[in-house]
Amino acid sequence: MGTTEAWKKMREVCVLGVGLHKFGRFPDESIGDLGREAILAAFADAGCGPKDIQAAFGGRVFTPNTTAMRLVNEVFQTGILIDNVEKACATSSTAVRLATWAIGAGLYDVCLCVGVEKMERGLVGGVPAGAESRASYGQLMGLGIMPAEYALRARRHMYEYGSTREMFAQVAVKSHKNGALNPYAQYQTPVTLEEVLNARMIADPLTLYQCSPSTDGATAVVLCAREVAHKFTGRPITIAGWASGTPAYSASGVSGDVQEGYIERIAREAYERASVGPSDIQVAQVHDAFSAGEIFAIEDLGFAKPGEGGRFVWEGKADINGKVAINTDGGLESRGHPQGATGIAMLAEIVRQLRGEAGLRQVPGNPKVGLQHNVGVGGCNIFIYKK
Amino acid sequence: MGTTEAWKKMREVCVLGVGLHKFGRFPDESIGDLGREAILAAFADAGCGPKDIQAAFGGRVFTPNTTAMRLVNEVFQTGILIDNVEKACATSSTAVRLATWAIGAGLYDVCLCVGVEKMERGLVGGVPAGAESRASYGQLMGLGIMPAEYALRARRHMYEYGSTREMFAQVAVKSHKNGALNPYAQYQTPVTLEEVLNARMIADPLTLYQCSPSTDGATAVVLCAREVAHKFTGRPITIAGWASGTPAYSASGVSGDVQEGYIERIAREAYERASVGPSDIQVAQVHDAFSAGEIFAIEDLGFAKPGEGGRFVWEGKADINGKVAINTDGGLESRGHPQGATGIAMLAEIVRQLRGEAGLRQVPGNPKVGLQHNVGVGGCNIFIYKK
């Protein structure tokens, strides 16, 4: 029996409630302060409380040690199983996947997941945290520096398909336009195409506005078995499918964020498990750590053919009222990217959209199917949600 | 439906093969070098190879970032899901639990778990890694320093039950005697009771030999669904039960290693899930980060009544030919305690014992049921294994 068949035999799992601490810079708040606010917000949204939670999962990328336990214990201490996971930028979506497995298998009815980060200012990258001190050949050549990796693939994309600087820049214009409608976003100011193009160059063709910032923030979600959701007041959204995999990291020195080829395979598995295809997706949260990433994702996920992702964005097809509304909350670039918290932030936005609760940034037409694409050096998690 | 009922409906999961890199000090070997040797040894023991592995889980405590992926990718790169977990001293047993869930639920047939650590010299403790810079009141009073925490509970045990210094020291005598029979142990030299008692005092009543050392090492295990085990040459040992939980960390400032009361509850759950009781356990690996920990565990796990753990060891009941053979491989004190690798080392020793492959330290009488107790500041994992 394959994984997809096993998944389809598991109990239906749904998102019951989501909660965020605003993203931004909070030097006076501790990790515990950030996490507490997110957890309490998720409880309020789910209509549940500490006594309902049977297990918890979560994490942080920078100094992850027993983070989930520390965050949960800030709010309640009931002795439940609390597992700490770390998967670089895909950390909190990994926590969600593990909770989904546990609930789907019947081990628990209601679980809490939480992600948090406080980030130092400046570039993330170089020899990855925790790696051996000896750098790989790729790293010595400048790979492993995130903007450089994205920029390299972007340059190749321009050469191969004729994508333009303007197309990559347009991603940032769209993201900041959406982020301006999101009160939880780190940056809530729209920018023009000219401003994006003329901003400080980080890694050609990516300028400052096309790079996700360093961010503090926290996110939490309550998941439950569909069969117990009626006990709570939260408005459940079903986790219809998921898939996960890793890139061939060591050999190439190129991290999982930008490696070609492997995301398509994982997306196919997720679509199969959810019994949908790319054309069914109405809202998507994709991993735009750098603007080019959104264009790669549009192609990798099958929203556009290879080479046509840039045009897809340029023509407005990724806008809130476009063909697939992408990164409606501002994405990593405008909403912010507190690495351990990002995965659940993506989930939260899709839940808000599918519930019709996204306010000024609500996707029209009562969307029913959403997709989340969360990648990092630790691999990729894709989730598909259904109303 | 409770967790125990759900667990009993899941597929039977077994350990197919185990592998270790020797524990000790290996300044010239990288994390990848250590992990590679353990993974290849586990493959050889299981009679399987990279193409059989459908998902992997693992971790490291110090700079855990994407460790499992890095270790696995040293050996093979097939794009599988690889999750990184961290649960302080219970890290790799957490990886095993997650793999057990995934296999039990039918998502995967064969999974690899791996744990690794390279530790700095010196005391582990103080304000825990990754904690906020503001120390809790407990930490400021000296709690959070591991030997001090164990020593405090040991002193209370002496006051409350009349346990003696000699009883705590006897744990170290037994551990080092067993470790001398284990070619993978960090320390393979027996010590006398007098040597233990006269060694440098670390935290009264715990002397140097009663404290686990800083250790480098790696461990790996291949798990599979019992129904596919026949495809491989490994000799499967069943994971009959598990349970996990957290202590009330924040409130008391006392870490999960020594908090009273919560381990008994978790042990009860594990016994229930495995349909056995304390009197069925013939071999056990318990978390003797400090000698007193073994005595607490003996009581918490129900091998002896509260207060009688010291006498249990003193009377030889925890010896290899005793009532419950405990820490037959030398335990954390003599085998060593590379934190991220320890959980799977415990598993590996029980598997060796139940298979009858433990050589000079083999428990007589063909033992059929073993227990693993792996605790840390991140909580406790208990597993019960059956031949």
- Predicted local confidence at residue B22, as pLDDT: 98
Contact of A217 with A71, CB cutoff 8 Å: no
- The per-residue pLDDT for range B332-350, each reduced to its tens digit, is 999 999 999 999 999 999 9
Contact of B210 with B168, CB cutoff 8 Å: yes
Coil vs helix vs strand at B164? coil
Upper half-sphere CA count for residue A166 (Cβ side, 13 Å): 7
Please tell me the total number of residues recorded for chain B in this structure: 387
CA distances from B366 to A24, A242, B147 (A): 61, 44, 36
Query: Hey, are the CB atoms on A246 and B81 less than 8 Å from each other?
Result: yes
The torsion angles phi and psi of B210, rounded to 5 degrees, stand at -95, 5
What ipTM, to 2 d.p.?
0.95
Residues 316-375 of B with CB under 8 A from A: none
The torsion angles phi and psi of A13, rounded to 5 degrees, stand at -115, 140
Q: Is A80 on the interface with B (CB under 8 A)?
A: yes
- The per-residue pLDDT for range B280-290, each reduced to its tens digit, is 999 999 999 99
Task: Name the percent of chain A lying above pLDDT 90.
Answer: 84
Tracing tokens 């433990």 back to the chain, one arrives at B358
Looking only at the bridges linking them, the beta strands covering A283-285 and A369-376 are parallel
Residues of A whose CB is below 8 A from B9: 106
- Predicted local confidence at residue A140, as pLDDT: 67
Residues of B whose CB is below 8 A from A81: 244-246, 379
What's the whole-number mean pLDDT along residues B348-366?
Answer: 98
Beta bridge partners of B110: B224
Query: Hey, are the CB atoms on B84 and A82 less than 8 Å from each other?
Result: no
Write the single-letter amino acid at B238: T
Least confident of A58-72, A157-171, B187-201, B226-240: A58-72
- Predicted local confidence at residue A240, as pLDDT: 98
- The per-residue pLDDT for range B226-268, each reduced to its tens digit, is 999 999 998 999 999 999 999 875 545 566 677 778 899 999 9
H or E element in which residue A113 lies: strand A110-117
Helices (H), chain B: 3-9, 31-46, 67-75, 91-104, 137-140, 146-161, 165-179, 193-198, 249-252, 262-274, 291-300, 309-314, 331-334, 339-355
What mean pLDDT is reported for chain A?
93
Quote the distance between the C-alpha of residue B298 and its chain's center: 14
Domain limits, chain B: 3-121+212-386
Nearest to A205 by CA among A158, A244, A275, A246: A158
Write the single-letter amino acid at B317: K
What mean pLDDT is reported for chain B?
93
- The per-residue pLDDT for range A245-276, each reduced to its tens digit, is 998 755 455 666 777 788 999 999 999 999 99
CATH code: domain B3-121+212-386 is 3.40.47.10
Looking only at the bridges linking them, the beta strands covering B110-117 and B216-225 are antiparallel
Tracing tokens 């925490």 back to the chain, one arrives at B149
Structure tokens at A249: 């990291």
pTM for this predicted structure: 0.96
Which amino acids of B are annotated catalytic? 89, 337
Looking only at the bridges linking them, the beta strands covering B13-24 and B216-225 are antiparallel
Nearest to A106 among B6, B80, B108 (CB): B6
Query: Hey, are the CB atoms on B61 and A59 less than 8 Å from each other?
Result: no
The residue from A224, A337, A373, A380 that is catalytic is A337
Active site residue A337: yes
Contact of B85 with B340, CB cutoff 8 Å: no
- Predicted local confidence at residue A128, as pLDDT: 47
Least confident of A345-349, B6-10, B146-150: B146-150
Write the single-letter amino acid at A190: P
- The per-residue pLDDT for range A294-315, each reduced to its tens digit, is 999 999 999 999 999 999 999 9
Contact of B300 with B315, CB cutoff 8 Å: no
